[in-house]
Chain A
Amino acid sequence: MPVRLLRIVPDDTKFDFMRFRRISFPVSAILSIAAILLYFTHGLNFGIDFVGGTLMEVQTKAGPADLAKMRSTIGGLQLGDFSLQQFGAPNDVLIRISQQPGGDAAQQAAVQKVRNALGDNVEYRRVEVVGPSVSNELLSYGTIGLMLAIGAILIYLWFRFEWQFALGAMIANVHDLVLTVGFMSLTHIDFDLTSIAALLTILGYSLNDTVVIYDRIREMLRRYKRMPMPDLLNASINATLSRSIVTHLTVSLSLLALLLFGGQAIRSFTATMMFGVVLVGTYTSVFIASPILIYLGVGRTRQGGPEEPETAAPPTVPAAPIAPQDPPKPSPPRQRARSRR
């Protein structure tokens, strides 16, 4: 092939990822605790989906919005706590009004008051009103949904792998979620229904990544009966490293396009995903999900001694139990030197 293709990761990397577990575990523990502390001290910026209230996005028809004037107009309506915020363009304003006392009907009345006060000078781009009964439900649905997803995936992984793998994947990915929630608390991103969607997607993708590495670990465990766990994990991660990085680059490119061009409405969603999938997810699969298997006792019965000669030419092992559909003539070790350029 005349064209030289881009190799982001060189062939046959031999990074010792396992060495970092003495750093990555404490770091992750501290970060997780920090995230939890942030959640309890700083809190989340709950959107109206979860606390109820009214959100109106208005656009002034002539020139940039006069926030001060709008603030005093709405302030005169005595609707309790409210906030104004520029949203994207200078003539675009987001108005949030806290939940009104007096149940569901009172929320609608508040919207009407604001509409009357602002009149026809603005275009109402978006009006969302969530009453108290719905908001409580949405929050519990969101939480139950997350738990349900975690449970279902746990059971699936338990079926496909050993229980240690399922547990390891879960610990790693709940750690992802905790860090992401910490990020949302720190940046004060709106936490609404789409955030739950973002969290679930992060869960799905981080697991996707973890499963790819676990798949390889399982394969190696079957193939090399005596290789010490840290070496085996290192080999597995190195073998899948190129894939991990290429895939994360393509997902990042998609997310980047969404973040830059996808509009204000889904910005908090994409920003959260960017953090969770790209930053945390990759790190977790390599530095948490894999080494945790050692602590969960995978391969404890292995002898830690030097590997049998089979390691010297690992890829040439026929591997009949792993890939029965292999062509009948497994490539002999001698060919290896020849086919290399």
Chain B
Amino acid sequence: MLFFSRWKAAAILLTAAIVCLFAVPNFFSENTVRTWPTWAQRHMVLGLDLQGGSSLLLEVDVNSVRKDRLQAIDEDVLRLLRQAHIQFTGRAIKGNGVEVRITRDTDVENALNKLRELSQPLGGVLGSNGQRSVDIVENGGLITLTPSDAAIAERVRQTVDQSIQIVERRVNELGLVEPVVQRQGLSRILVQVPGLQDPQRLIDILGKTAKMDFRMVDVSTTPEQALASHPPADSEILDGEGGAKYVVEKRVLVSGGDLVDAQAGFDQNGQPIVNFRFNSIGARKFAEVTAQNVGKPFAIVLDNKVLSAPVIREAIPGGAGQISGNFTVQSANDLAILLRAGALPAPLTVVEQRTVGPGLGQDSINAGEHAAYVGAALVVVFMLVTYGLFGLFANIAVAVNVAMIFGLLSLLGATLTLPGIAGIVLTVGIAVDSNVLIYERIREEVRAGRTAISAIDAGFTRALATILDSNITTFIAAAVLFYIGTGPVRGFAVTLGIGILTSLFTAFTLTRLIVAYWVRLWRPRTVPI
């Protein structure tokens, strides 16, 4: 137990030294570190609770994804049955499915065959679990098409992927520094912005779907008439600015997806406006539409609200236009950002917000440092008083331990949070436990009549098994905590877990190595503990 080959000793010291060295960049300013080679730049990231900032958890509305899917199926059913000249009645979205009643019994088989086109196997050709995108059930001429849960989940996943891109673009357009946008779970997106103190504008901007399209205003009726009875079948009533109502055709002439640029600006009267430009497809469509409808009003609709409904004075061939609504400078700016970043495929809701101001962050850093110094000092003194020289060995091991924790955290680019600091302080208390176990065992072996060297050897051998067993239980707890925890709590799990690993390392190698060298140099007759 006490013999180390020269190579092994060198490997142990080298490992410890290298891991410790990774902690170095944390002690230099960011500008200094930036001049170093890339591999040396890795450092810990301060959690939002320490550096201040805002963390938002956004959720994709699964119901709206389902509703969109049902609408699409509904339209497909209409198209397919019409193509096949099959007569049907009572086509409607009911609950989680689309129902359609085939009029003639002889057509049912034919209709089912047609509709089965809608049901694709999931997961491509290799998808072997037999799940299909739509479940089709027929009962006495009534066919029900239900999108499967797996298909909805897949759709939600895609929606989140697309949304992440849009969210990223919007956050970047706002000019926020070092934002983090990542998926969390199935239907959520985590947005973290360091330094952001009032996230309200960000929440407003992320909360908008920003689905914009250009449609014609239905002039066959007035909003009052439509409200009194029903709007025409292919039109709907939409709200406008200041309580105004518009009857707008459902047909989308040009969609916001064809926009390539949008900038806030001012019109000749000094009112804020948004200038936009279409891509070539959008420009062509826009030119056609405006040419055909000169003199008629068209509506610019954003998230089912009419922004403005100007009358087309002449054909607009260039693919550029402007939106003038009741804008302030900020709202024009925000709209331009939204249009540039693109529309979200489904609405997002903020389900959790955590914001920490810079004052509290700094206070927490100070408190954490303070506690760490005091805790370390208490433990170091206690160990010296209790175990003398061996206490010093233990303290060296603990110091290396803490340095290695910082090194590993830097290497992983892990986030340091206030509970994370607590985890490190606790690790100091725990790391000495391995030494305590070893030393107490050595004391016992000495009492049992062994010679110094034999007692030390036996002490290590027997204690290490115990150390491994007892640390694994704590490590399991830390692992579970990492899995279920978020944010600061996860930071605690990380430092706790890494602390257990490093203290196992030092107990099994470094402490042993130090003691082995001491034994070799001093050839002790008695053990001073």
Contacts and interface: CB of A to CB of B under 8 A. Distances in A.
A134 B422 contact: no
Interface in A227-279: 239-240, 242-243, 246-247, 249-258, 260-263, 265-266, 269-270, 273
Contacts of B451: 331, 335, 339
Contacts of A196: 481, 484-485, 489
A20 interface: no
B125 to A, nearest CB: 36
Contacts of B57: 134
B162 interface: no
A123 B197 CA distance: 10
A124 interface: yes
B422 A262 contact: yes
A68 interface: no
Interface stretch (B210-218, B266-274, B370-378, B407-415): B370-378
Contacts of B158: none
A297 interface: no
Contact of A251 (B429, B447, B449, B465): B429
A200 interface: yes
B485 A197 contact: yes
A141 interface: yes
B426 to A, nearest CB: 6
A286 interface: no
A156 B488 CA distance: 28
A329 B457 CA distance: 12
Residue among B368, B433, B454, B458 with the highest chain A CB neighbour number at 10 A: B433
A91 to B, nearest CB: 11
Interface string A192-221: 011011001101110111011001100100
B307 to A, nearest CB: 22
B92 to A, nearest CB: 27
B387 interface: yes
A296 interface: no
B454 A197 contact: no
B496 A243 contact: no
Interface in B358-384: 359-360, 363-364, 367-368, 370-372, 374-375, 378-379, 382-383
A156 B471 CA distance: 12
Interface string B347-362: 0011111111101100
Interface stretch (A26-34, A73-81, A144-152): A144-152
A157 interface: yes
B424 to A, nearest CB: 10
Contact of A263 (B363, B379, B486): B363
A175 to B, nearest CB: 16
Contact of A126 (B59, B355, B382, B483): B355
Contact of B382 (A250, A263, A265, A340): A250
A128 B350 CA distance: 12
A201 B353 CA distance: 26
A257 B427 CA distance: 13
Contacts of A215: 465-466, 469-470
A270 B528 CA distance: 35
Contacts of B59: 104, 133
Contacts of A212: 437, 466, 469-470
A139 B200 CA distance: 27
A1 interface: yes
Given A123-B359, A254-B375, A204 B473 contact: yes
Contact of B481 (A115, A145, A216): A145
Interface string A313-336: 001100000110111010101011
Interface string B314-357: 00000000000000000000000000000000000111111111
Contact of B492 (A197, A247, A326): A197
A108 B356 contact: no
A127 B353 contact: yes
A105 B207 contact: yes
A243 B388 contact: no
A23 interface: no
B263 to A, nearest CB: 28
Given A246-B436, A261-B371, A339-B450, A323 B352 contact: no
Contacts of B437: 212, 243, 247
A326 to B, nearest CB: 6
A111 interface: yes
A108 B350 contact: yes
Contact of A156 (B363, B432, B444, B472): B472
A261 B367 contact: yes
Contacts of A252: 429
5 contacts: A57-B360, A111-B200, A127-B355, A253-B382, A266-B419
